[in-house]
Structure formats: structure tokens, C-alpha cells
Amino acid sequence: MNKDLIKNKIEELRKEIEFHNKLYYDESKNIISDYEYDLKMNELISLEKKYPEFSSKTSPSLKVGGKITKEFNSFKHDEQMLSLGNTYSNEDLNDFDKRIKKLLKKESIEYVCELKYDGVALSIKYENNIFKRALTRGDGKYGDDISNNVQTIKTLPLKLKNNQESELEVRGEAFISKSNFELLNKEKKENNEQLFSNPRNTASGSLKLQDSSEVSKRRINCYIYSLKSNSGLFKTHEECLIYLRKIGFNVPNTFKKCNNIEEVKEYVKDWELKRHDLDVETDGIVIKVNNIDDQNRLGNTSKSPRWAIAYKYKAESKVTKINNIIFQVGRTGAVTPVALLDPVLISGSVVKRASLHNHNEIKRLDIRLNDYVNIEKGGEIIPKITSVIKEKRANSYNKFEFTKICPSCGSNLEIENNQAVSYCKNDLRCKPQISGRIEHFISKNAMNIDKLGPETIKGFIDKEIIKTPADLYKIQYNDIINLEFKLDEKDKIRSLKEKSCNNILSSISRSKSKPFSNLLFGLGIRYVGKTTAEKLTSHFKNIDNIINASYEEIVEVDEIGEKIAESLTSFFSIENNITLINNLKAAGLNFQENKIDKKSNKLNDLVFVVSGTFSSFSREELEEKIKLNGGKVSKSLSSKTNFVIFGDNMGPKKRIKAVELNIKMISENDFISMI
């Protein structure tokens, strides 16, 4: 076939597919079937493979994905991605308006109101009209590069039309619509797979998948709400939004310019109920000063822009019935009551259960079986019972009695030190405790055995392959090949094949090189978190020194309090824990602090706190340099702190405390001069 004809055919297919993408995602219209659309896409992909000379970085075929990303590299945002301050009432909005007028010395202020979509914040950069990079919010200053995955979003242009700027950065929200979320879960259900929990978490998890072709199947959409421009072409935020739509971005048509704060309040009121009719989750309204010069004059605090604020609607509340209360056992033996509910739709997801936390919570609410209760989502994420509707309660409802025996192993429960929590002390035979401890041991901040999941761990325990974390290092290939166990509550069976077995064994082997602090954290000693483990290993150098340390010696360690010291001495007084450590030693794990080759003793006996973000180093790199030069790093300020190294966005509370304690504050450059 003539090359010119082929080129024309490829360009024609691209235009057609882009037209149908825009029609479907922007206007919710579908004038061809999915089958016809797929035929066109497959034809385009086939031609592009056969004739690579006609490939294009902006082809809609990229929306299908296919690239594998092993690691997500971090990049610095050109301009920090800040979070918004929250308001919850008209009085708060009035205060915001007064504050803006006072700072700007103006009588009237124009605002732009936009719906606050519940998704994943993105920063997307274009050069010479071509998509360059997409970053997550990250810590606000640095974000992960998820470009391969973001390119699969069908509503996001890879090439801009009629754009007047050589470089352009936009910000937006990636999300999965309610209807598409239902379709995804329908497919999951048909395949007997675990359902997704909610649209926001599904979108977030999807954008960090390694295979972009899988991301393309998740039906992710993206609304753009901000343009970062230094061209001076735009006087107002409203102009920016209109321009963004003109050059091809998916800007929702729900924004509105308001001439004053009263019109803002009307917009807020108007959308309070109407927003639930949309096909996308929202949790409030974003209010922005419209004039860009005014925005620049107002500037930012360390965390938020002064010129914008979010109005958060009250959490949606629904009435449902408690059908049962069950008890779950955690890795520490703590027994938690959980209410099983009549399923109810709240904020876009179906809620079937809610934690009741402990004795005191049940007593405070006076919850009983078959009660009708008000339930909402804390932060629109965690289901929470807020009250009992007592007028619906029948006289026959008896007070609920907290169980006195472990729901898993039948042991008698104990309450420690008049706490509100019951504990099962049968930690060696109680399966949920065994699996919980092992899941903690293999977690990312501990031994990071990433090829093992909770269901596999439970399967190994049920088959008596493992009883303690040390047993992981005894597993042989023949122990687990073709091993069958239940994958979920629906009795779906999983069988381990060759590839899975080899991945598990390799992951276990790699974990042996993890630092001593990871291993100490992985032991699951109560109150010993990641930072505490680092302080203990740095001070005592090896496990034997920690085991043999007295209560008084432990308390002397910087920032280690009485509760931690009591927990450590108690843990190491138990024979089974010493046996576990000896078995882990025999397996070749690292119970010794690696020697740091010091560069100097310039910072000997000096204690530093590092706060904020920095231009030349990450916080971790600065802390490493402190240690390499003989200094100590602390996470919190005290009278023992000698210096605070402060960067951008240093927490205001830390700054105030540093002043109160008369601690010297130094910049990144001051520190470099010191060493």
C-alpha cells in the first residue's frame, strides 16, 4: 500500500478516536458501539506497529497503555502543591472575606467557586504543546512521576490546540466516576474477585500500578482546575479556566464567578444537595480570589494559599440497623467489637460494618443488638456510628455484654490496668495474633517481604508451615509448591505455582539484609515504632545490649519514656521471645547496628531537629549528614536540642516551641557551613 495512504489512514483514525473520546467523556454521548470503537483502536495500533515511522507521542493509542514502570521516580514541583484551609459555616466564610479585604485593603472582592472533587491531585506539565510529565502531590514539594499511567486517561490531551505558551503546567483531580466504579465492581463480582472499596482509593491505587495497560482499564477521568502561567496573559482565574477548556482540557462546567461573599454562600447552598446528583464524588466547595494579582499579593502560608479556602459540607449521615456485633482479634491480642449493619450507601460506597472500638464506646453510645443508628463517614472515609435512635428501640432489647472469651481461641480475656480494651493472652496459639504478628513483621517498614500477602500468610498458618516469623526463613520450595488454601470468605481456592513460590522465597531471602532497626520494629514490641527502633539500635548497637539493658538504662536513651522501657523489659523477660530472636539470629538476620564511617567529629554531642523541606537535600539526607559528622537527630524539640535546621514549610508549632526553648535555628546553608 502507498505510504501516503497509510499515513492518511493513521491520521484519520486518530482524529476519529479523539472525536469519540471527547464526545463520550465530555458530553456523555456514545454514537458508536464499544465494539466499533475497539475495532478502530485495534486497527490504529496495528498500523502504528507495522509502520513505526508514523508513530506519534500524541497518538490516542497511548491511552491503551502497555508500558511497565518498576519504580516511580520523584521530581520537584515547579511550584509547591499546597493544601487548602477548611471552613464549615457561613460565619467562617464571612471571616475569610473580611481577612482578604483587610489584607488587600479593598472594599469588594470577586471570587470563583468550584466543586471540590474527591480524587487524586495531579500536576501535569506540557512543553511546546506536548505532554511532558505528570506528578502526584507527594509531600507537596516532591511528587512521583506517574506519566505512563496518566497518559492513559482519555480526557487528558497529549497535544494542546491553539495554546499560546511554550511551557504550561496545569493541576487537576484524577477520579473514577460513580457509574464507572459500579462497572468495575460488577466485573470484579463476575470474576469472583474482591471488590474495590471506594472510587477515590481505587483511582489512587490505579495510578500507582506498574502496568499502564491495566490502568487504562480502570476508566479514570481527570478534571483540570488550575493553570500555572508566568506569561501575564491572564488577569483572573476565571479567564484561566475558560482558556484551559479552549485548548482541550476537561474543565467542569460547574464553576461560577461570584461578585461577593453573599453570592459565594448562595453557590454553597445551591450545591449542598444538588452535588449528589452528579456522577462524581464531591465533599465541598473551593473558593478562590478571582484576580491573579490579588492572589500574588496575598501569597501563601507554610501550608495553604491565603487566597483560597475550602468549604466542607457536613458528613452525610444515614440511618441503618445493627444486625450483629462480632469481635476481631489484633496482633497484640486486643479484641475489637465490630457492628455488622444493614448495607447503606454513604458518600458513594456501601457501608456494611463499623468499628465500635472498645468497652467505653459501646457504653457511651449504649448500643444494643437490633438498634437503629445514625452512621456517617469520618472525613468521608471511615464509617462511624454517631448515635442510637432510641425511640425505635423495642423494650426487649437487652444491654449488650462484651465477650469475656477470645472469639478465635476461646481463652479468657483480660483487661489491663483498668483500660477499656480486652486482651487475649494466648498469643502462641491464637491464629489472628500469629498472622497479625507475621503480617507486621513482613510489612514495608519492617522486613518488606513484599511477595507475601495476608491470605497467603493465613494459608501457611492453617497448613502449619509457619507459627512464628522465624519459620519464614525455614520454608523450602517443596513445602509450598502447589499448596492450596482459601483465598477469601467465598471459599475461593488458590494454588501456589512455580513463579509465585520462587518470588516468595526470593523476597524472604532479600529481607535478611534489612537494617537492625527494621528488624527491631518488625518484632512488634508494643510502643516501639519505626523512629523508636532507630533510636534504640543507634544507642545500644546490638540486640544483646538491648536485651540485657535495665529499665533505668533504657529510660536514659534520648526520647525513650517509661512506657517504652516497661514494654521492652517485659518483652525480653518472656522466654518465647528470646527463642524467637535466637531463631532469627540462626537464620542470618542482622541484629547489629551497621557501623557508620564517620566523616568528622564536628557535630559530636550536638542534637539536631530537622523541619521543613529543602532545596539541596532531602530531610533524610540531612539527617544522614548529621550522623556522619558525629551529631544526633531527634524528631521532637526539647531542652536537649541544640539546633533546628529549618526549611520551607516548617511547622508553626515547632517554630514557636524553638523560640520558647531558645533553640538556635539555622538554615540549610548555615548547616553546610558547619560541616
How large a percentage of the chain has pLDDT more than 90?
42
The reply to whether 436 and 566 lie within a common domain is no
The pLDDT score that the predictor gives to residue 28 is 54
206, burial (CB in 10 Å: exposed 0-12, middle 13-18, buried 19+): buried
Question: Which range (27-41, 143-157, 247-261, 488-502) has the least confidence?
Answer: 27-41
**Single-letter amino acid, residue 92:** D
Name the domain count of the chain.
6
- pLDDT higher than threshold 70 for residue 110: yes
Q: What span, in angstroms and rounded, lies between the C-alpha atoms of 533 and 302?
A: 30
Tens of pLDDT, residues 214-234: 898 898 999 999 998 877 789
Q: Is residue 644 part of a domain?
A: yes
Query: pLDDT-derived band of residue 115, with 50, 70 and 90 as boundaries?
Result: very high
Residue 319, beta-bridge partner list: 374
Determine which of 285-294, 318-327, 391-400 has the lowest per-residue pLDDT on average: 391-400
Same domain? For 367 and 450 the reply is no
- Could you tell me if residue 404 is inside a domain? yes
**Each residue of 380-430: pLDDT tens digit?**
567 889 899 998 888 777 888 899 999 999 999 998 777 788 999 998 889
Q: Which of 587, 331, 588 is nearest to 458 (CA)?
A: 331
Q: Specify if 304 maps to a domain.
A: no
Give me the pLDDT at residue 292, please: 94
Give a yes or no: residue 18 inside a domain. Answer: yes
Do 127 and 239 belong to one domain? yes
Picking from 59-68, 197-206, 280-289, 541-550, which range would have the lowest pLDDT averaged per residue?
Answer: 59-68
- What is the secondary structure of 393-423 as a DSSP string? --TTPPPPPPPSB-TTT-PBEEE-TT-S-EE
- Please classify residue 517 by burial: count the beta carbons closer than 10 Å to its beta carbon, then call 0-12 exposed, 13-18 middle and 19+ buried: buried
Measured CA to CA, the distance from residue 327 to residue 395 in angstroms comes to: 25
Question: If residue 180 lies in a helix (H) or strand (E), which one and from where to where?
Answer: helix 178-190
Helix, strand, or coil (residue 26): helix
* Nearest-angstrom CA–CA distance, 208 and 72: 8
Q: Which pLDDT belongs to residue 34?
A: 63
Write out the residue range of the structural domain in which residue 383 sits: 317-415
Q: Is residue 300 part of a domain?
A: no
Compare 581 and 187 and report the one with higher pLDDT.
581
CA-based nearest residue to 174, from 153, 151, 144, 196: 153
One domain for residues 226 and 363: no
Cα gap 300→298, rounded to integer Å: 7
Whether the per-residue pLDDT at 558 is higher than 70: the answer is yes
CATH number, domain of 626, equals: 3.40.50.10190
pLDDT tens track for 528-546: 988 789 889 988 999 999 9
Residue 421 belongs to a domain: no
Q: Between 3 and 408, whose confidence is greater?
A: 408
Residues in the chain: 675
Q: pLDDT at position 289, please?
A: 97
Q: What angle do CA 154, 157, 159 make, to 5 degrees?
A: 140
**Same domain for 507 and 535:** no
280 with 143, same domain: the answer is yes
Grid coordinates in use for 299? 501569597
User: Residue 470 has what pLDDT?
Assistant: 95
Same domain membership, residue 124 and residue 230: yes
Q: Is the pLDDT of residue 667 over 90?
A: no
Catalytic residue among 76, 98, 116, 467: 116
Residue 573's CATH number: 1.10.150.20
**Per-residue pLDDT, 45:** 82
Closest C-alpha to 238, from 282, 275, 289? 289
Do 332 and 392 have their domain in common?
Answer: yes
Q: Are residues 353 and 463 in the same domain?
A: no
pLDDT given at position 170: 96
Q: What is the rounded distance in angstroms from the CA atom of residue 623 to the CA atom of residue 469?
A: 31
Q: Exposed (0-12), middle (13-18) or buried (19+): which is 495, by Cβ within 10 Å?
A: exposed
Rounded to an integer, what distance in angstroms lies between the CA atom of residue 111 and that of residue 261?
Answer: 8
Q: Return the pLDDT at 122.
A: 95
| Spatial distance between the Cα atoms of 554 and 568, rounded to a whole number of angstroms | 9
Q: Measure the CA–CA gap between 104 and 298, rounded to whole angstroms.
A: 7
Q: CA 208, 620, 85: angle at the middle one, nearest 5?
A: 65
How much is the pLDDT for 349? 72
Q: What is the CATH number of the domain that holds 246?
A: 3.30.470.30
pLDDT-derived band at 452, boundaries 50, 70, 90:
confident
pLDDT tens for 496-528 read: 889 889 999 999 999 998 999 999 999 999 889
295-311 per-position pLDDT tens digit: 999 998 877 899 999 99
**CA-CA distance, 239 to 234, in Å (whole number)?**
6
User: Among 93-97, 283-287, 415-419, 662-666, which is the least confidently predicted range?
Assistant: 415-419
Domain-ending residue, one of 513, 533, 554? 513
- We report the CATH number of the domain holding residue 392 as 2.40.50.140
- Residue 35's CATH number: 1.10.287.610
Residue 647 lies in a domain: yes
Q: Do 473 and 369 share a domain, yes or no? A: no
Is 116 a known active-site residue?
Answer: yes
Reported as a single tens digit per residue, the pLDDT across 27-73 is: 556 677 766 777 788 788 888 888 888 888 778 777 676 666 667 88
Task: Tell me: do 368 and 463 sit in the same domain.
Answer: no
Residues 407 and 552 reside in one and the same domain: no
CB 599 within 8 A of CB 628: yes
The pLDDT value given to residue 167: 87
According to DSSP, the β-strands at 317-329 and 372-378 are: antiparallel
* SS3 letters across 322-351: EEEEEEEECCCCEEEEEEEEEEEEECCEEE
Question: Does 554 fall in a domain?
Answer: yes
